[in-house]
Homo-oligomer: A and B are copies of this chain.
Amino acid sequence: MNLIPALSRIRVVLSRPSHPGNIGAAARAMKTMGLERLVLVEPRAFPHPQADARASGARDVLERAVLYSSLEQALAGTVAAAAFTTRPRDLAHPRCTVREAARQLLTESACGDVALVFGTEASGLSAAELSLCRITAFIPANPAYPSLNLAAAVQIAAYEARLAEEILPPAQDRPPPAVAEDVELFFRHLEAVMISSGFLDPAQPKRLMRRLRRLFARARLEKEEVAILRGILNAVDDT
């Protein structure tokens, strides 16, 4: 059904959506742009007649939606994820526009699955959720009223992904990035070693892990690099 292979590697992840109507409208928005892989993290109500109604001709996308209980699970197997935020957050990764994010994701999609990640209607993504995504993106908007409806934000991101696919040159000759779950295992390993070494006081963690996540997000860790880093951690932890 989908004639554009890169688009079939995009997951649209909705974390804790409150309104089932928005889930249906997001499915419709996705399908109009050729995206079909909807992932839901703890939706308040799903399946739901309102979701079906607003999905219109995209009920097949709803029916194939995959549910998880955490964003971390939803991102397993992805090589890049772009988190959408309205407001810049303290210590968040540097933000790029939705257009830039779509181009980055489409480029990375040559190496594996990628994800567009949206938070709950009222408050967006949590800091912990943001830190799971390598790219932080925003949709240029009216500063006096930047509050796009969830499905409207999905529509714009899906539209930019479709255009990016048409514009982008074939994937460059870069080594593939590590998948999300391997990067998470590295961060846990790093944290454990910092604690066991006395560098990080778990009672007073401050923002150390978030700073480190930010650094490695910029670096776009490759699979082999994660292996090397974990080798280092194993080595120092043995001493």
Q: Whole-angstrom distance between the alpha carbons of A2 and B142 in the complex?
A: 8
Query: Chain A: interface secondary structure?
Result: helix
Name A154's closest neighbour in chain B (CB-CB): B152
Asked if residues A32 and B146 are in contact (CB atoms below 8 Å), the reply is yes
User: Is A47 positioned at the interface, with any CB of B under 8 Å from its CB?
Assistant: no
User: Is A156 positioned at the interface, with any CB of B under 8 Å from its CB?
Assistant: yes
CB distance from A138 to the nearest CB of B (A): 12
Asked if residues A141 and B29 are in contact (CB atoms below 8 Å), the reply is no
Question: Beta-carbon contacts of A55-67 to B below 8 Å, as 1s and 0s?
Answer: 0111000000000
Asked if residues B57 and A147 are in contact (CB atoms below 8 Å), the reply is yes
User: Is A151 positioned at the interface, with any CB of B under 8 Å from its CB?
Assistant: yes
Which residues does chain B contribute within 8 Å of A145, judged by CB atoms?
31-32, 57-58
Asked if residues A149 and B28 are in contact (CB atoms below 8 Å), the reply is yes
Interface segment, one of A158-166, A181-189, A206-214, A229-237 = A158-166
User: Is A148 positioned at the interface, with any CB of B under 8 Å from its CB?
Assistant: yes
Of B28, B33, B34, B156, which contacts A155 at CB under 8 A? B156
User: Is A144 positioned at the interface, with any CB of B under 8 Å from its CB?
Assistant: yes
Count the copies.
2
Which A166-199 residues sit within 8 Å CB-CB of chain B?
Answer: 166
Asked if residues B56 and A147 are in contact (CB atoms below 8 Å), the reply is yes
Which residues does chain B contribute within 8 Å of A28, judged by CB atoms?
147-149, 152
Q: Whole-angstrom distance between the alpha carbons of A79 and B141 in the complex?
A: 26
User: Is A1 positioned at the interface, with any CB of B under 8 Å from its CB?
Assistant: yes
Name A4's closest neighbour in chain B (CB-CB): B142
Asked if residues A32 and B152 are in contact (CB atoms below 8 Å), the reply is yes
Q: Whole-angstrom distance between the alpha carbons of A156 and B163 in the complex?
A: 12
CB distance from A45 to the nearest CB of B (A): 18
Name A36's closest neighbour in chain B (CB-CB): B142
Which residues does chain B contribute within 8 Å of A10, judged by CB atoms?
none
Asked if residues A142 and B33 are in contact (CB atoms below 8 Å), the reply is yes
Which residues does chain B contribute within 8 Å of A57, judged by CB atoms?
145, 147
Which residues does chain B contribute within 8 Å of A155, judged by CB atoms?
148-149, 152, 155-156
Name A166's closest neighbour in chain B (CB-CB): B140
Q: List residues of chain A with CB under 8 Å of any chain B CB.
A: 1-2, 25, 28-29, 31-34, 56-58, 99, 139-142, 144-149, 151-152, 155-156, 159, 162-163, 166
